[in-house]
Structure 1
């Protein structure tokens, strides 16, 4: 039986080709994902470890006691006195004070260099006497920065931008444009630089002024003297550390960085594997369909095997062995293809300027095992039901017909099960829409509904395909035959259409959700904000007060308010405070007040959103005690309660009240209104007033909408690209089904040719059958996608009040057209094959 199974694989290799391709694509996606993420994790981990080679112990600010006793302002930076004290600890060879923060560098064309979030600034520490060398950085050219107005650039950035020693660069730290002279170029193992970011170094005094406070550091790095281990040095320095200060060994820092890198890869890995799983799930339909048709075509052969003594178990094993061989071949080819995909994705990141650290391509043993298990497992599991069906063929069938149609009782049982599953799925989805946290029941309901619809597709195929009859009649005999062929075997039609249905369900559902969320956020932004412009940093870090002062000097600005963020403690819990200009706010925001109004805002009077008010039991006139970030206490009174949203919420008070308690006066955003309203000329003049700074965004309402649209468009395009794999597998399924159907109907096609159906009519018949099946899957997929999009929107609307269901009719039309195109393309080869059949040979076929 084993030899028989192998001979059957070789005999049907052409018919098994599409199945092999479907499994191979899914396995390639899985292995490519694992290779890519493993390679990135390994490269970043090694880069991080190399970056910590010169660090034996790092001293950082941190909470070490009871947080309830700590002021809400956070942990203070490390003072110079601590640095001097650590230099005197026995076993410390050197102690380096580090300061860091955001520093946006402009290239020669004025654009932002690096990846935004990883554009960092720091200090070059020359030691206590000002003549030392910073062990973290090796100067390649020039010298270290020694005074304000001088900077050093990392070598990768210098090479990328063309800057060198003696050049003047434009940059920004927290708003205002600075012009600095490059005095040095250095090498570094910093992970952010290795990933495509930039690092700009200042002298220590300038860096402290920009990123911290004079005489304070964000980190102190210690190197141990000979013979002193990291643990021993850590134990010694802990004896002299003050409270709210933490010592960590370099090895622990490297391990922590490696774990963070691995966790950051987990999200990407999981997301990509989900789509690989979808592609494999779609492939299950193809595999099951292929083996079902092979079993049906070999009914007489299998019955003869039974007649000559083969047991049911042996017949089942023979079909499973075929599946095992097909799965093993597909898994091996898919693994090799996946390794190529992983290498290609890494190269693609490099071409997109998303530089990754150097390192080898990593093919872990777990990747090989997972690929083989997935490929072989999916194929064998999908072939199990057809194998069981093959074992039930009685020996007497050797004298009967080649294909026994499904009984009406079998279809009745199937339809009953499908109706129960679909009903349970719909009920669970509808129930979940009324819950605050209904993601899990909705996911379970969606799964049940998809399975239920798949089980019901044979029943649904007849009316849906029948609805196309008037159109098909226009194609004469070919159209009539195509409709009859599509409904002749409803189970096969259902399995073929289901593969396409799943892909289009996901694509349509995500399109509906993304479009509706975009509309809701867009509506929220435009309705809540009356300001003509908002000004913020490109990476949304705090803005310098100099930006606010520069905008106030502009003649066309009629109203302006910053949005300052500050931590506080109220009733023992941390609450954010938002500082605003009380006099200008009513011209810049449009809020719905349930109690009070903007008029009461000012001094010790604040306005709060309804969620915060309910959480604390406040109403207009309520007073409460607050601990500001500097530890000072005060009493505030609620003068108004407004309906908050995702963009505007929390406790708002006048900046005149909040600013005295801030360690650093900065703003997350500045809103402003202009005399002439929003226009390109006004926007240009505002940008010019801010020095045409690449790190600052000046946005009107249209810009906000476009930025939201770009974000969702990019997300959707990524999802479309990932789901394209499932659609490609579905196309292979249609091709496979039609090709095997043509082989199965060879005698019938020969008879049709003999009585007058020409080659063109034969091609048209196969193409129309393919078109009908694909459109059937498309209609089901789009319908389910819209339903799931609506249901998910009901959940989202609980947290997004402005959510509005948007049905993308244009895109749904495109999706249906894509389904039709799938049908046309998938039929090209089977239709050509059917038209080229030799009539006499086909008629003699059994």
Structure 2
């Protein structure tokens, strides 16, 4: 084993450029996973033994973000290690020709991976733990944690980071060195060129992922509702995973078709760039996938958020039968407003935080409860139309009754006559019977109850006012004389959607972190790939290529990478956004956040052009 470790250390010194790239990615992934793990642990600590409603919201937010973060981080770490080791196929082939066994080569690869991760993970863990508290202010402003909340030091997060990153890196290293098992002659042959074909296993996996992604994207066309649309949004990751598995064949086919179309008319630089793309399609795929992930992840998150916000505004606007809305009002203002001349009826809506029991297994403790809220609906319920499918809102007449949205039913509730366990106030638990099931959960929330059934809270109600025909102006003036400002329903919906957009700040920050991580990994991969082509550039210079031609070739390859990544990213995200738009808005025209989308495209192009900087250094000087 000492010989293996000595060989690993020597290889790390010789191939320090590619090792440095893998090291940097592991450091970034370690910091991101550690910070995420610290918030998950803080959410668990806050929820254990807590009885106040909303205590589990931090856990819900952190675990939701952690799931996506873990998948992306492990995928990019594995891809970086795999590419770093694939660049050294000639070294592995040489070791096989001088008598090294496949087991010895794999042992050396394992030793290198462990050496890099043993140094890189601690370097990333420390800034991850220090960066985690920076999010506290945003969590407090979003109402997820109370004022004065402090994040304690996490001990489990670094351990979890090690347990996730090391196996992923080892698996990637072993996969990259698998060619040494086919014999020395095969290893030498494979070191000279990349095989464009896909093995049977890769074809099957890619096919399964492709079909699964399309099926999931089509769920909103079959099953309506918010949860079905949210499920459809996950298809982007499935489709991108299919591209990662079969991307080399895709790049090879595109490059071959392009060469067939342009022939030699595109000039030496462009022709050489396409030949490189065809001959080294795996290399380009390693660069394309992180950039496509940047486009797909940003597109699906912002697009789905816009779709949900538009759907919530539409449901709220369509569901309010009032003429005027007062937002917000004091708890005793409803009676004063109802006595104003010209007012026919009044209703109040107050959002109250509660915890809802989602699992009957009490042995799992705090995990059985989920943070949510109840809309306390008082007064004339005819002013609110959430599209009741079963039962009636008129039956909301006491602490033991509740109305639920159909989306909440998909989460585990059965229907009218079943019960829901709630925890409210200072931990008082109430079992309420479902008396109505309604459609418009995005606009009005998942639960409605009688205000008398809920404890007093600091939340101020929104008052809905129905007036006599043609009396809107006079009622508005009379209310203004009392110091009360009334708006119409459209203005109230606009304010509500704006507030919802403000509540997306936390999600936007978390998304920005993931996008920045993906961009940095993509930039690191491109620079690492270019740095590993020094011998190739020297050979091309010796055969007559000028420095200008080589830089033009690198620039063309960069544009090919950018164009391919953008097309793949858009193709992966489009089915999910179309499904979400159909499920929530009834249209196949997806919602697109154009400023962010244009920014993502610009970021992809800018990152893709980084190899030109490395190419200028590698092509400098006279050919030798």
Give TM-score scaled by structure 2 length. Answer: 0.71
Q: Is the 8 A contact 1:328 1:375 kept in 2?
A: no
Alignment correspondent of 2:317: 526
Q: How much has 1:14 moved relative to structure 2?
A: 2.2
The 1-side partners of 2:220 and 2:118 are apart by 41
- Per-residue deviation, residues 161-188 of structure 1 (Å, max 9, x unmatched): xxxxxxxxxxxxxxxxxxxxxxxxxxxx
Q: How much has 1:814 moved relative to structure 2?
A: 4.9
1:787 maps to 2:572: no
Q: 1:260 to 1:493 in 2, by over 3 A?
A: same
**Aligned match for 1:29, one of 18, 26, 32:** 32
The 1-side partners of 2:454 and 2:159 are apart by 56
Alignment correspondent of 2:70: 277
**Aligned match for 2:59, one of 252, 262, 266:** 266
1:453 maps to 2:235: no
1:13 maps to 2:16: yes
Q: How much has 1:703 moved relative to structure 2?
A: 3.2
**Aligned match for 1:832, one of 581, 590, 613:** 613
The 1-side partners of 2:134 and 2:404 are apart by 50
**Aligned match for 2:553, one of 765, 784, 801:** 765
The 2-side partners of 1:610 and 1:5 are apart by 59
Instruction: Kindly report which structure 2 residues correspond to 1:218-257, keeping only aligned pairs within 5 A, or say none.
Output: 256-257=49-50
Q: 1:18 to 1:744 in 2, by over 3 A?
A: closer
Q: 1:667 to 1:328 in 2, by over 3 A?
A: closer
Q: Is the 8 A contact 1:563 1:578 kept in 2?
A: yes
1:499 maps to 2:499: no
1:777 maps to 2:565: yes
- Per-residue deviation, residues 693-734 of structure 1 (Å, max 9, x unmatched): xxxx9674223224224414642x543432334433433444
Alignment correspondent of 2:372: none
- Per-residue deviation, residues 187-206 of structure 1 (Å, max 9, x unmatched): xxxxxxxxxxxxxxxxxxxx
Instruction: Kindly report which structure 2 residues correspond to 1:700-711, keeping only aligned pairs within 5 A, or say none.
Output: 700-711=489-500
Q: Is the 8 A contact 1:771 1:823 kept in 2?
A: yes
Alignment correspondent of 1:509: 300
Q: 1:290 to 1:27 in 2, by over 3 A?
A: same
Alignment correspondent of 2:519: 731
The 1-side partners of 2:333 and 2:470 are apart by 21
Q: Is the 8 A contact 1:323 1:380 kept in 2?
A: yes
- Per-residue deviation, residues 619-661 of structure 1 (Å, max 9, x unmatched): xxxxxxxxxxxxxxxxxxxxxx9996445899x9xxxxx9999
The 2-side partners of 1:37 and 1:446 are apart by 25
1:562 maps to 2:324: no
Q: Is the 8 A contact 1:5 1:319 kept in 2?
A: yes
Instruction: Kindly report which structure 2 residues correspond to 1:570-609, keeping only aligned pairs within 5 A, or say none.
Output: 580-581=379-380
Q: 1:439 to 1:699 in 2, by over 3 A?
A: closer
The 1-side partners of 2:416 and 2:349 are apart by 22
1:807 maps to 2:590: yes
- Per-residue deviation, residues 342-396 of structure 1 (Å, max 9, x unmatched): 243347668999875476x633432232222233232222222013234545168
The 2-side partners of 1:591 and 1:364 are apart by 44
Q: How much has 1:787 moved relative to structure 2?
A: 1.0
The 2-side partners of 1:529 and 1:351 are apart by 29
Alignment correspondent of 2:276: 485
Q: How much has 1:450 moved relative to structure 2?
A: 3.9
Q: 1:447 to 1:481 in 2, by over 3 A?
A: same
1:404 maps to 2:193: yes
The 2-side partners of 1:387 and 1:734 are apart by 22
1:290 maps to 2:83: yes
Instruction: Kindly report which structure 2 residues correspond to 1:603-622, keeping only aligned pairs within 5 A, or say none.
Output: none
The 1-side partners of 2:577 and 2:539 are apart by 48
Q: 1:733 to 1:366 in 2, by over 3 A?
A: closer
The 2-side partners of 1:836 and 1:591 are apart by 65
Alignment correspondent of 1:381: 171
Instruction: Kindly report which structure 2 residues correspond to 1:438-477, keeping only aligned pairs within 5 A, or say none.
Output: 449-462=239-252, 477=268
Q: How much has 1:310 moved relative to structure 2?
A: 2.2
The 2-side partners of 1:672 and 1:725 are apart by 44
**Aligned match for 1:327, one of 107, 114, 117:** 117
Q: 1:364 to 1:307 in 2, by over 3 A?
A: same
Q: Is the 8 A contact 1:32 1:342 kept in 2?
A: yes
1:547 maps to 2:329: no
Q: Is the 8 A contact 2:347 2:378 kept in 1?
A: yes
Alignment correspondent of 1:213: none
The 1-side partners of 2:235 and 2:439 are apart by 32
**Aligned match for 1:822, one of 604, 607, 615:** 604
Q: How much has 1:322 moved relative to structure 2?
A: 0.9
Q: Is the 8 A contact 1:24 1:375 kept in 2?
A: no
The 2-side partners of 1:440 and 1:338 are apart by 30
User: How many residue pairs align between the two structures?
Assistant: 556
Q: Is the 8 A contact 1:535 1:671 kept in 2?
A: yes
Q: 1:719 to 1:547 in 2, by over 3 A?
A: closer
Give TM-score scaled by structure 1 length. Answer: 0.55
Q: How much has 1:327 moved relative to structure 2?
A: 1.5
> Greater helix share, 1 or 2?
2
Query: Secondary structure, in 3 states, of the residue corresponding to 2:195?
Result: coil
- Per-residue deviation, residues 414-438 of structure 1 (Å, max 9, x unmatched): 4455234423543465468535786
The 2-side partners of 1:670 and 1:337 are apart by 48
Q: 1:473 to 1:815 in 2, by over 3 A?
A: farther
Q: How much has 1:5 moved relative to structure 2?
A: 0.9
> Greater strand share, 1 or 2?
1
- Per-residue deviation, residues 33-62 of structure 1 (Å, max 9, x unmatched): 3334556876x79xxxxxxxxxxxxxxxxx
- Per-residue deviation, residues 719-771 of structure 1 (Å, max 9, x unmatched): 34323344334334443443344344434434555677655554443233223
Query: Secondary structure, in 3 states, of the residue corresponding to 2:16?
Result: coil
**Aligned match for 2:128, one of 325, 338, 362:** 338
Gaps of 5+ in 2: 351-374, 390-402, 418-435
1:746 maps to 2:534: yes
Query: Secondary structure, in 3 states, of the residue corresponding to 1:16?
Result: helix
The 2-side partners of 1:616 and 1:738 are apart by 58
Q: Could you say what the CA RMSD is over the residues aligned between the two structures, in angstroms?
A: 5.2
Query: Secondary structure, in 3 states, of the residue corresponding to 1:672?
Result: strand
Query: Secondary structure, in 3 states, of the residue corresponding to 1:363?
Result: coil
Gaps of 5+ in 1: 46-254, 566-575, 595-607, 618-640, 653-657
Alignment correspondent of 2:425: none
The more displaced of 323-332 and 387-396 is 387-396
Q: 1:835 to 1:441 in 2, by over 3 A?
A: closer
Q: 1:460 to 1:714 in 2, by over 3 A?
A: farther
Q: How much has 1:777 moved relative to structure 2?
A: 2.1
The 1-side partners of 2:65 and 2:444 are apart by 34
Q: How much has 1:331 moved relative to structure 2?
A: 0.8
Query: Secondary structure, in 3 states, of the residue corresponding to 2:175?
Result: helix
The 2-side partners of 1:785 and 1:765 are apart by 30
The 1-side partners of 2:84 and 2:495 are apart by 50
Instruction: Kindly report which structure 2 residues correspond to 1:106-117, keeping only aligned pairs within 5 A, or say none.
Output: none
